[in-house]
């Protein structure tokens, strides 16, 4: 297992990417307002969920060397968190994107389930 400082720096990079998502959306607000109108398979919300949930598990295997990835309960927490993230992005766009990308990133950081934090090295 990697050192905690390395793991935490990787997490910060990940949340930097999260902030980048919000910043990118702010650059083309009209486009993203239209994009979120589509629901269902291949929707933007669905894409955000799949990209983040899958990406988290890939990150676990790559950086933590955890081939088994998450146990069933932690996997469900991960799915719940990433579904919430996708919905939060959608609501942020619908609400006029008033909050800053940095604030939205802080919401993401604050709401990580404890079972995910266990895998991230924070018990």
Nearest Cα neighbor of 88 from 10, 21, 13 is 21
Give the domain extent around 50.
Answer: 4-119
Q: For 28-67, how does the pLDDT look when each residue is reduced to its tens digit (9 = 90+)?
A: 999 999 999 888 888 888 888 888 777 777 776 676 665 5
Kind plus residue range of the DSSP H or E element containing 23: helix 4-27
Structural domain total, the chain: 1
- Longest Cα–Cα distance in the chain: 44
Between 7 and 88, the higher pLDDT residue: 88
**Counting Cβ atoms within 10 Å, is residue 98 exposed (0-12), middle (13-18) or buried (19+)?**
exposed
- Rounded to 10 deg, the angle between the 72-94 and 101-110 helix axes is 160
Q: For 98-110, how does the pLDDT look when each residue is reduced to its tens digit (9 = 90+)?
A: 999 999 988 888 8
Tokens encoding 108: 């993401």
């Amino acid at each position: 297992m990697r050192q905690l400082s390395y793991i935490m720096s990787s997490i910060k990079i990940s949340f930097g990417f999260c902030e980048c998502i919000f910043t990118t959306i702010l650059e083309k607000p009209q486009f993203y307002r239209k994009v979120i109108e589509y629901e269902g398979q291949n929707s933007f919300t669905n894409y955000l969920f799949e990209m983040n949930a899958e990406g988290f598990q890939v990150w676990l295997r790559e950086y933590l060397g955890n081939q088994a990835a998450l146990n069933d309960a932690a996997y469900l927490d991960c799915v719940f968190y990433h579904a919430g993230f996708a919905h939060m992005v959608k609501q942020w766009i619908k609400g006029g994107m008033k909050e800053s990308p940095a604030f939205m990133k802080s919401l993401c950081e604050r709401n990580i389930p404890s079972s995910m934090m266990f895998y991230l090295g924070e018990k």
